[in-house]
């Protein structure tokens, strides 16, 4: 059997999550659309007004549209926390700004801003794809509409609804000033590689907010078809270099001015033909802002924190949440990936599964399962609570996972939850099932093999089942003590994509036989059930967070 594992190429890695680039499923597409307001509301709850910098570049880029003796009326679409509004009001006291956003929390941030005055700003909640703007703003009264990184958050099929809505309140020959993401931006490339595409050029970020990446042709056609003329259209590129990580990042965005005209024909003024301004700058020394003279100067990177962290190598401060797990006399505080990010995260190891909770409780109440024994946990994830509970009574515990990010978070959780002597007995190692090099490294830690191997919710990807049992075979102890002291492989899970017959077939190929299971024990006499003895007749509710959970108990044949 050993040769079967060794024949696996060391470079061949098995992951317990799907790597198919299929994009976002129809279910999630519908959910992102339905709950778009909620995702942005959560965004502003997390970041308040600290995420985006104030956009002082508007004065430099478009000052001529706001200046003048006559009072200008401005509509800021997607006002967010007011990063566009308040710099404008401070620079041009003679303007009035209608500010709308479909996030109630964002609008509240504007209204509670220290510079908010009702004589200068009127903020209100509005979903421009549904709500009639003319019920809040007088028809044909707005001189300028600003759309700064906002149209990209709207489903492309609903963008015409937004433009038709703002036309109701614009004066003839009024202007739309737009800046937004462009096709080819690094953030788009990142999202593509993470399989987070909703439709062409439309993606979901890790926090559930969405972003569309515009081409010049798409944007021109969109505004032309909805009664606007193109006054200016520029494509800008900014190259950012992070010397410490030796990464060069290309940021691309479109800057445009459109004029609302009575004619739906596409026209371009002779004085200002379409500009194709490709501006490049290198930003050295740990990503600092540059001061070029092209339209890209003072450009703020308007994107979700999850994308920012990957681009700049900065760990988001609030992307984790703490789960409290109480197991009789042991209490754990486990850092896991926030639920906001779990829905698009490929790694299953950055969350705490119900099977791990149940198996940890079983071990806490029945310490004799691991007492004085050497224990290996497969696919422990970032929580590792089965390993941490085992460390109290076992001689040695090795917690393993194939995901390096999960292991990084596990290390933090172990350090914050365990004290000596338990801490000294727990070792964390990377183990990709079927990887000979990894298996040999585990053997070096414990040449005699492990008396107890535990896996919680590690059986749901069909391709990973054979490597799972092959790896367990290589690392389990061969000593036969008989009864419940015989070396055992314990799997706790909910049956998902792999059924019980398939698991038993794979187990048999590597010399494992099922000797007991829960909730239906194999022995005809319940008193003889190894697993059944772990559960008291009363108080089972605290053990079982989900009635669909199963435990399978294997010995070597």
| Number of residues in the chain | 557
Decide whether 2-18+317-556 matches 26-312 in CATH topology: yes
Q: What is the distance between the alpha carbons of residues 227 and 5, in angstroms, rounded to a whole number? A: 66
pLDDT confidence bin for 342, thresholds 50/70/90: low
Pick from 133, 124, 195: nearest CA to 162: 133
- Let me know: does 216 contact 224? Beta carbons within 8 Å: no
Helices (H), 54-135: 57-66, 85-91, 104-111
Digit-coded pLDDT (tens) for 40-89 = 888 888 877 766 777 877 888 898 999 888 889 999 999 988 888 999 99
Best CATH choice for the domain 2-18+317-556 from the list 3.40.50.300, 3.30.420.10, 3.40.605.10, 3.40.50.150: 3.40.50.150
Position 320 pLDDT exceeds 80: no
306 vs 86: CA distance, rounded Å = 26
Chain centroid, CA 46 distance in Å: 14
3-state secondary structure of 114: coil
Q: Tell me the per-residue pLDDT of 468-477, one tens digit each, with 9 for 90 and over.
A: 999 999 999 9
Q: Which residues pair with 400 in a beta bridge?
A: 429
For domain 26-312, the CATH superfamily is Vaccinia Virus protein VP39 (3.40.50.150)
Q: How many CB atoms lie within 10 A of CB 193?
A: 9
**pLDDT confidence tier of residue 264, bands split at 50, 70 and 90:** very low
- The whole-number average pLDDT for the span 359-369 is 93
Instruction: List, in order, residues 6 or more apart from 525 with CB less than 8 Å away.
Output: none
For the chain, the farthest-separated pair of C-alpha atoms sits apart, in whole angstroms, at: 94
CB atoms within 10 A of CB 21: 10
User: What average pLDDT is seen over the chain?
Assistant: 82
Query: What secondary structure, in 3-state letters, does 212-224 show?
Result: ECECHHHHHHHHH
Backbone angles phi, psi at 233, to 5 degrees: -150, 115
pLDDT band at 359 (very low <50, low <70, confident <90, very high): very high
In whole angstroms, how far apart are CA 64 and each of 72, 92, 170? 11, 11, 18
Residue 269 pLDDT exceeds 90: no
Bridge partners, 226 (sequence order): none
- Which residues make beta-bridge pairs with 249? 240
Strand order in the sheet with 512-518: 426-430, 396-401, 374-378, 452-456, 488-494, 549-556, 512-518
Cα torsion through 21, 25, 31, 32, rounded to 10: 30
Residue 450's nearest CA partner among 355, 512, 370, 385 is: 370
Quickly state the pLDDT bin for 37 (edges 50, 70, 90).
confident
Note whether 512 and 554 are within 8 A (CB).
yes
Q: Are 427 and 380 in contact (CB under 8 A)?
A: no
- The region of weakest confidence among 31-40, 329-338, 505-514 is 329-338
- Enumerate the domain spans of the chain: 2-18+317-556, 26-312
Could you report the per-residue pLDDT of 405-454, keeping only the tens digit for each?
Answer: 899 999 999 999 999 999 999 999 999 999 999 999 999 999 999 999 99
> Quick one: average pLDDT of 361-383?
94
Cβ atoms of 73 and 98 closer than 8 Å: yes
Helix (H, G, I), strand (E, B) or coil at 185: coil
Query: Closest by alpha carbon to 550, among 490, 465, 472, 464?
Result: 490
State CA 16 to chain mean position distance.
Answer: 18
Element at 467 (helix H, strand E): helix 462-475
User: Could you tell me whether strands 320-327 and 396-401 are parallel, antiparallel, or unpaired per DSSP bridges?
Assistant: unpaired
Joined tokens for residue 531: 């697993």
Environment class of 501 (CB within 10 Å of its CB; exposed 0-12, middle 13-18, buried 19+): exposed
For residue range 274-316, list pLDDT tens digits in order.
343 334 433 333 333 333 334 444 444 444 444 444 433 334 4
pLDDT over 60 (residue 232)? yes
Which pair of tokens denotes residue 146?
């600003």
**Using an 8 Å Cβ cutoff, are 554 and 513 in contact?**
yes
What is this structure's pTM? 0.54
Average pLDDT, integer, range 496-505: 89
Q: What per-residue string of b and e applies to 268-298 under the rule 16 or more CB within 10 Å gives b?
A: eeeeeeeeeeebebebeeebeeeebeebbbb
Percent of the chain with pLDDT over 90: 52
Torsion angle, CA of 311/315/321/323, rounded to 10 degrees? 120
């Amino acid at each position: 059997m050993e040769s079967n594992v060794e024949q696996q190429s060391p470079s061949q890695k098995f992951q317990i999550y799907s790597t198919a680039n299929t994009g976002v499923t129809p279910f999630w597409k519908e959910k992102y659309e339905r709950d778009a307001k909620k995702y942005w509301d959560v965004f502003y709850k997390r970041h308040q007004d600290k995420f985006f910098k104030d956009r002082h570049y508007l004065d430099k880029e478009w000052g001529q549209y706001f200046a003048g003796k006559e009072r200008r009326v401005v509509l800021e679409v997607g006002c967010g926390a007011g990063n566009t509004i308040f710099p404008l009001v401070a620079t041009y006291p003679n303007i009035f700004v209608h500010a709308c956003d479909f996030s109630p929390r964002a609008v509240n941030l504007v209204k509670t801003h220290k510079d908010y005055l009702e004589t200068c700003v009127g903020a209100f909640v509005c979903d421009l794809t549904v709500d009639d703007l003319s019920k809040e703003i007088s028809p044909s009264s707005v001189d300028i509409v600003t759309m700064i990184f906002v149209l990209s958050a709207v489903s492309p099929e609903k963008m015409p609804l937004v433009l038709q809505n703002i036309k109701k309140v614009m004066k003839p020959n009024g202007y739309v000033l737009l800046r937004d993401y462009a096709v080819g931006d690094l953030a788009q490339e990142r999202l593509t590689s993470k399989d987070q595409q909703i439709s062409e050029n439309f993606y979901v970020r890790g926090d559930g907010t969405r972003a569309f990446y515009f081409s010049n042709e798409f944007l021109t056609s969109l505004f032309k078809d909805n009664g606007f003329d193109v006054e200016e259209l520029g494509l800008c590129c900014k190259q950012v270099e992070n010397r410490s990580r030796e990464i060069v990042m290309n940021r691309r965005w479109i800057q445009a001015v459109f004029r609302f005209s009575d004619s739906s024909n596409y026209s371009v003024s002779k004085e200002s033909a379409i500009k194709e301004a490709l501006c490049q700058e290198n930003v050295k020394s740990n990503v600092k802002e540059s001061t070029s003279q092209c339209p890209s100067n003072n450009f703020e990177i308007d994107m979700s924190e999850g994308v920012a962290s990957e681009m700049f190598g900065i760990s988001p401060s609030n992307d984790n949440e703490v789960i409290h797990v109480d197991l009789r006399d042991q209490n754990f505080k486990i850092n896991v990936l926030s639920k906001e990010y779990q829905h698009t995260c490929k790694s299953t190891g950055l969350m705490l599964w119900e099977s791990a909770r149940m198996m940890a409780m079983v071990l806490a109440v029945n310490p004799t399962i691991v007492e004085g024994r050497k224990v290996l946990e497969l696919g422990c994830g970032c929580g590792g609570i089965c390993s941490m509970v085992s460390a109290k009574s076992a001689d040695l515990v090795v917690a393993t996972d194939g995901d390096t990010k999960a292991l990084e978070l596990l290390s933090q959780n172990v350090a914050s939850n365990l004290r000596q002597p338990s801490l000294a007995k727990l070792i964390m190692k990377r183990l990709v099932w079927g990887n000979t090099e990894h298996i040999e490294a585990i053997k070096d830690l414990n040449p005699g093999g492990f008396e107890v191997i535990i896996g919680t919710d590690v059986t749901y990807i069909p391709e990973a089942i054979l490597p799972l049992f092959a790896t367990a075979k290589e690392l389990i102890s061969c000593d036969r003590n008989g009864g419940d002291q015989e070396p055992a492989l314990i799997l706790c899970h909910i049956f998902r994509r792999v059924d019980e017959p398939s698991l038993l077939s794979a187990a048999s190929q590597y010399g494992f036989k099922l000797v007991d299971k829960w909730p239906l024990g194999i022995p005809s006499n319940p008193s003889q059930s190894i697993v059944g003895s772990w559960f008291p007749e009363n108080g089972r509710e605290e053990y079982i967070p989900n009635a669909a959970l199963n435990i399978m108990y294997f010995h070597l044949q």
